[in-house]
Each structure stands twice: as structure tokens, then as C-alpha cells.
Chain A
Amino acid sequence: MASYTIPHAPGFVANDAPRIVTERFDDPASFTLERYLATGGYDGLRAALERPPDEVHSEVRDATLLGRGGAGFPAGVKWGFCPPGVWPRYLVVNGDESEPGTYKDRLLMELDPHQLIEGCLIACYAVGLSQCFLYIRGEMALAQERVAQALNEAYEAGWVGRNICGTDFSVDIVLHSGAGAYVVGEETALIESLEGNRGMPRLKPPYFPAAIGLYGLPTIVNNVETLSNLPWIMRNGAEAFTAIGTSTSPGTRMIAVSGHVQRPGVYEITNGTTTFRDLIYGEDYCRGMHPGRELKAFVPGGGSAPWFTPAQLDLPFEASEVGPQGSMLGSGAVMVMDDTTDIPAAALTLTKFYAHESCGKCVPCREGATWLERVLRRVCDGTGTPRDLDVLLEVGASISPGDFPHAAVPERGLEAKPFPYQMTTICFVGPSAFAPVHSALTLFPEEFEARVAANAHLDAELSGDPVSEVPVSV
């Protein structure tokens, strides 16, 4: 195996493991229609158009293409949730990638926008989706420019719009830029945003916008990487796709590894079989820690995911193995912390993120995330007390009652608590604010205790019922 970086694709590291969605990244002009067509571009669409739509849908279902946005739900099954006889149906592409640590959709949009467009067209054809809205995160200026340019070229050349490839398949793809709001990555919030509203998640049920989505109509919301797999699947077939990886997690996945590793990067890895150890220590991947440093902890699936320690390194990228061990694969982002890391401070960077991004709709999240941030901040500043550590857990329990998922800690005899968690909020932002706090407190309690020990006397001074102790003037 060999691996190499590519100057025009900063952040991406190529290797010779199977490449499905990044196969054109080596080409400096990969984003142009000319280069796309010269490298098998739109062949997947042509292959799809020669078959009835339901066969195309079956092919995707047979490929067990798991959604790459975070939840990991099979795309082909999701497509089947559209209620029969309700028209029109829409496709909304989720390109609002904002999960801390995650970036692969941005690269796919910047470096191979036609592959995404082709994926959108295949989905629209298969499920009978009449119009497509491609929602790109507002801050991603280059991705917006590349996708706009690609759409302009594709329209001119007849790949998008009326009577595509001379058939009766006609669909518009409308580019829609967001304006900065993490929560809009939640699919019902994405739809609200697309309707011109504040991007707040909708009450559930219905759980899937496939039933009631944009303008109250059946709407498929798919992630950029998910759709980018479709041209390859249509060109090579579901069988070739499932031959890569494992039967429950076939194909490849793009994973961004950042933090304290020698070679941080975005890697396309074989799904289901590649382990965290391969990825963090492999010669073709991140090449381990910096000299003299040791791995302390890592976040396995984006900022929302409970943390792992070296004890979980041999787990593969397979949801059915990671879930029981107390975390999730999420959005394909691994953040690595070495032994120099200040754990409470690291947790604060994430909790602060979720507190800032809470949309304010659910009280437990709006208030809870904010208080988690404030209390954790004073612990980090050295002004917290031992009681504050209980407060953090109490506030967390108001967002996510019951045992919160966590990894096993063999040296303390602590067993893993499997995913998922319970929640008092509509969406995952609230529990995500608690996840880093809970993980850090569970895995590294001594770092917190050391921070607050000197202030134990303050708890004693403040004990008792503060209300009854207020002097009352008669």
C-alpha cells in the first residue's frame, strides 16, 4: 500500500485501498464537466435511465448504502418511506456539513461536484422526485462556486433540466446556500430553513420527512456523500459495492482525522473492516502520535459522539460493534487527543459549540447546554467546586435522562453503556452538548477532581437551603 497527499486537495490523503467517491481527486481539473465526462462521468445516470425506476431503487437497496450524514440509515430503505399516491415528491440534499471534526462533503462538493449532481439525478429518477434542492452550508464559498459552475455546465450540456438525455425524465436542481446554523444539518430543520424560516427542528413524529417534508409533502433528505456513491453503484452494480467492506457496512467511507496525530487528513477507508488502530497508527493513514507522545482519548464519530480511549482502538468502523461499546460512528470524524491534552478544556471546546448552536426551541437544550458551558468553564478556570461536578451530571440528566452511553474503563472495572441515549429534546443538539462533558467526567474524573479540590470549603460554606437563609426583615 502507498499513500500520498495531493496539492490541489488540501487535507485529503489518497491511498491505494478501494476508492469509490474520491477516485477523481488526483486530477487537478476533477471538477470540470470535460474531465468528468472523460472519466466515466454520467455513465451511471445513462445506465439508470435504461432501466425502470423501481429497478434502480432496488439496486440501491441491494447495495445497503448506509446514509453518511450521521444516522447511518440505509438510503434505499429511506427512499421506500414515501407514501404511495402523494405527489409531488422532493429531494433535499444535505450539504450543511458542520459537525465538529467533519469534513468530507465539502471536499466532495469542491472536487467532484458533477458526481454529486449525477447522484441527485439518479435518486430523482428512481423515486420520482420532481425537484431537487441542493443545500450547501453558507460558509463554504468555494463549494458553492464549484457546484454552481458544475450545474451551469450540466444544464447547458443537457444533463440537468428538461428531457435529460433525450428521455422524458426532467428535473431541476436548485442550488441553495445556507447562512450559518449548525442545527440546520438536522433534516427537519433543513426543511424549515428551505421554507424560509428559522432553522428549528420540527416536532416528531413524523420521524421521516419522506412522509411529511418540504411544504408538507414527501421529501427525501440525503447527505452529499451518500448521493455521491450512486454513480459508482449504477456503473458497477450493487454486488460490486457489497464486495467491498462488510455485508452490514459495505463500500467505503470518508473519515476526517484531526488533532494530535502525525498526519491528520481525510481518508477514504474500507467500511466495516478498517479499525481505529489502522486509521490512527497505520503507515498509510495517520502514522500515530507525535514522537514521545501517547494516545489519551479520541472522539470516534464527530463532536456529538461519546469518547473512546486506547482500550477501544481495535473496534472497526462498524456501527453494530461501536454502538454496544458506548459510542457511534456519526458523521465520519475522528478527533485525537494525546497525553498533553487538558481534558476538561477539550470538552469545553465542544460543549461551548453546542451551547452556541442550540436553536432555543427545547428548554432542556437551550438552558442546559448554556449551563453546562458556564459550569464547565468555571471548573476549567479553577473557580469551580466539587459540587459543580454533580451539577454537570444533573444538568446533563435533564437533557438526557438515565444512563448516558460511555466506553468501558477496564482499569476501574467500569463496563460500557451501549448507545443510544434517551432525550428530552426534539433533536440531538442537546445530548450532544452533554456527550463531551459526560465522557470526560467518566473517563478522566481525576482531572476534574484536581481542578476543584482546592475549593471544597466553598461547598461547605454554601451548603444548606439558600432561600431560607436569606435574612427576612420584619
Chain B
Amino acid sequence: MSFFTEENRALAGEIIGRYPKRRSAMIPLLHVAQGQAGWVTPEAMTEIAELVDTTPAEVLGTCSFYEMFKREPVGKYLVNICVTMSCALAGAVELMEHAEERLGVRAGGTTPDGMFTLASAECQAACTEAPCLQVNYRYRYRVDTEGFDQLIDDLASGSLEGEIPQHGITARVRQRIPEDRMVGAVPPAEVNEAPVWLAVPAPNGAGSS
């Protein structure tokens, strides 16, 4: 039994075809796997290893380096509260304490109903809008305790389902390269001369040297 759905297997093939070496597709394929299951399962890693010509251990090695890949199930909504400097200066520590109390779990924990995983996160690049958080990588800015409670109520009631996809799906728009427009991957072994538009490679020092 294949882990990937038929659709995702086709997508995986499309993604691999964009890279000069198959292994470069590893992180994108881990994202596809996490989008399908909500986390990265061992079966997914084994199948990705086959797809990119490497071993499951190598895939695990890469997968385990990156914060976003979860190797065990997490809640439907991953709530990442930023606790780095600018957010901390604006009350992120107090926000985190409130969140722990409201959700009844410590940072890193998942609520028993499987709805929420609470985590402390590092700088999310929204420092002027502190304190900020992300729910499945969708921003909420200048969050106070009331705003946090409202957000949790809205997520629990399902009213944000259109805006915030379930955990595992980050970008909902995918790059699609039309076949008739695609140049194709440029593998190192197959190309050993300057591209055609650099008609005459300039000698030392000039722009194309």
C-alpha cells in the first residue's frame, strides 16, 4: 500500500521533476506528506526515501532537523505563540501563561480533544505587531488575553475553517509550471557550457565572467 494518495503521488512526481537532483525535493515532499496526514508518518518517510533515491534514515535525518515537521500527531490547530524579544517586551510571557491556563495544557502539549497544540515559537517576523501568534501559520497580531479567548472560541466553533486550514497544509496555492513554458531542471552533469543568451562569454572581469 502506498502512503501517498494517487493525486499526491502525481504531485510528488511533478515536484521532483523540477530539481536537478531528486534529493532536493525531500523537504517539499515532506510538506506534501504532512499536508496529507497532518503529521509526518514513518510510512511517509519510507516512501519519500524511495521517491528521492535515498534511505528512510536519511529522510528521518532531514525531517528531524526542521521545526515544522511533526513526527507525532498534533492538534488540528497548532497555536504558536512568539516569545522572542519584541513579543516578550510586549507581554508574550503573560500571553503564554494565559494560553496555558485557557487550554489547560503546558506549552508543547495537546488538548485531550485533539483540537489544539500549544507551542512557544521563535521570532515570526511580525515584530511591530507584538505580541503575535500563528495558528497553522496564519498570523494574529497584537493579541491580548481577550483576543486569545475569542480566537480559541472561534476555532472551536468552526467559524474560522475557511480561513485556517487544518495542520499540515501551509500554502493553499501551489506553483504549477505549464509544460509548454517549462525550461526543465538544469542538472550539473548534463550542462557544461554557458547558457545561450550569454552568446560570447566575456573575458575576465566583465559582467558574465
Contacts and interface: CB of A to CB of B under 8 A. Distances in A.
B137 interface: yes
Contacts of B67: 138, 179-181
B185 interface: yes
B43 interface: no
Contacts of A449: none
B137 A258 contact: no
A406 interface: no
Contact of A259 (B21, B86, B125, B139): B86
Interface stretch (B1-9, B105-113, B148-156, B195-203): B195-203
Contact of A148 (B25, B171, B191): B171
Contacts, number: 266
B194 A303 contact: no
A256 to B, nearest CB: 6
A91 B173 CA distance: 23
Given A87-B192, A167-B197, A199 B66 contact: yes
Given A152-B175, A158-B181, A179-B68, A101 B123 contact: yes
Nearest to A104: B125
Nearest to A261: B128
A357 interface: yes
Given A54-B202, A128-B208, A162-B183, A256 B127 contact: yes
Contacts of A80: 205, 207, 209
Interface in B1-58: 18-21, 23-28, 30-31, 52, 54
A11 B132 CA distance: 12
A266 interface: yes
B207 A126 contact: yes
A421 interface: no
Main secondary structure of the interface of A (DSSP, over half): mixed
Interface in B71-91: 80, 83-86, 88-90
A247 to B, nearest CB: 22
Given A264-B128, A349-B83, A88 B122 contact: no
B21 A215 contact: yes
Nearest to B23: A196
Interface residues of B, number: 79
B184 A179 contact: no
A87 B197 CA distance: 14
A139 to B, nearest CB: 5
A292 interface: no
A258 B130 contact: yes
Contacts of A345: 88
Nearest to A184: B66
Contact of B123 (A100, A105, A158, A171): A100
A333 B84 CA distance: 14
Given A155-B177, A196-B62, A353 B84 contact: yes
B170 interface: yes
Interface string A94-110: 00011111110110000
B209 A179 contact: no
Contacts of B134: 139
Interface in A36-85: 52-58, 61, 79-80, 82, 84-85
Contact of B25 (A105, A196, A217): A196
A138 B89 contact: no
B115 interface: no
B91 to A, nearest CB: 12
Given A53-B207, A54-B202, A144 B170 contact: yes
A172 B127 contact: no
B188 A258 contact: no
B127 A356 contact: no
B141 A196 contact: no
Interface string B117-137: 000011111111110001011
B193 interface: yes
A193 interface: yes
A53 B68 contact: no
A33 interface: no
A256 B174 CA distance: 29
Contacts of A181: 65-67
A195 B170 contact: no
Contact of B185 (A131, A151, A195): A131
Given A101-B86, A195-B24, A57 B66 contact: no
A18 B195 CA distance: 37
Closest 4 CB pairs of A and B: A54-B207, A57-B207, A180-B67, A196-B26
12 contacts: A103-B125, A105-B125, A148-B175, A155-B177, A170-B195, A172-B184, A176-B28, A195-B24, A303-B85, A337-B89, A349-B83, A349-B89
